[in-house]
């Protein structure tokens, strides 16, 4: 994620992975300004609702603004309809916002609803593409090498968390704009959004 404001920057690593019963989502912590590491603890993973999360790559201001707008819109939808917005609905809403006023971001909308777990990649012009897993940002080529090799249909939650951590570690090793730790979370229909603590992330990485 880049803190400059005059160009599209996607220096970041984020990942979403579906598994049997839920979805795992993760992001690194580094923010860059060109070749300068501007911040080592930037939030790029946001809880949008109990069943939907957002990851961001690109300009920090645009990412933070979008996270607030989306969280408010999904809450209003739930209050009006007495039911949560679907993941596809959240992805479509996000795509519509970006197509109306492009932001310098690349996003993942991940979550679970009655149709199951899903991951949507949203580009800066409002394109929305669903997949069983996806990576974004400058570290994504290194992450896809791990994901393509190790992803399996109907993975367990623990296997998906381990795969997300491995892919983020791979990007941190080779991409100068990624690193400085990671946030990891999983979403299930039963327990909603669950962010791992720093100790849990450290223990997971140590076990790999």
pLDDT (tens digit per residue) in 90-125 = 999 999 988 867 677 789 999 999 999 999 999 877
Give the helix ranges, DSSP H, for 84-197. 87-100, 140-150, 157-174
* Burial state string for 165-193 with b = 16 or more CB within 10 A and e = fewer than 16: bbbbbbbbeebebbbebbbbbbbbeeebb
Q: Cβ distance 97 to 147 under 8 Å? A: no
**Domain-wise residue ranges, the chain:** 14-207
For residues 180-194, give the mean pLDDT.
94
Q: Of the listed 3, 4, 10, 12, which one is catalytic?
A: 12
Burial class from Cβ neighbours inside 10 Å (0-12, 13-18, 19+) for residue 81 reads: exposed
Q: What angle do CA 127, 109, 71 make, to 5 degrees?
A: 110
Q: Architecture of 14-207 per CATH?
A: 4-Layer Sandwich (3.60)
165 DSSP 8-state letter: H
* pLDDT band (50, 70, 90) for residue 1: low
The token duo for 130 is: 């669903």
**What are residue 107's DSSP bridge partners?**
56, 122
12 part of the active site: yes
Smallest Cα–Cα separation from 169: which of 135, 197, 195?
135
Is the confidence at residue 172, as pLDDT, over 70?
yes
pLDDT (tens digit per residue) in 123-156 = 877 889 999 999 998 889 999 999 999 999 989 9
Q: Cβ distance 90 to 77 under 8 Å? A: no
């Amino acid at each position: 994620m880049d803190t400059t404001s005059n160009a599209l920057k996607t220096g970041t690593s984020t990942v979403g992975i579906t598994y049997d019963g839920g979805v795992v989502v993760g992001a690194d912590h580094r923010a860059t300004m060109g070749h300068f590491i501007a911040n080592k603890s930037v939030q790029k993973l946001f809880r949008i609702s109990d069943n939907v999360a957002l990851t961001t790559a690109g300009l920090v201001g645009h990412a933070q603004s979008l996270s607030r707008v989306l969280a408010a819109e999904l809450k209003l939808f739930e209050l009006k309809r007495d039911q949560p917005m679907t993941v596809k609905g959240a992805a479509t809403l996000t795509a519509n916002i970006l197509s109306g006023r492009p932001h310098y971001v690349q996003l993942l909308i991940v979550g679970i609803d009655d149709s199951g777990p899903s991951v949507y990649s949203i580009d800066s012009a409002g394109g929305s593409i669903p997949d069983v897993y996806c990576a974004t940002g400058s570290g994504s080529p290194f992450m896809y090498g791990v994901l393509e090799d190790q992803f399996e249909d109907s993975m367990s939650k623990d296997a998906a968390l381990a795969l997300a951590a491995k892919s983020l570690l791979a990007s941190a090793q080779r991409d100068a704009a990624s690193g400085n730790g990671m946030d990891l979370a999983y979403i299930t229909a039963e327990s909603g959004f669950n962010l791992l603590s720093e100790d849990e992330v450290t223990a997971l990485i140590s076990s790999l």
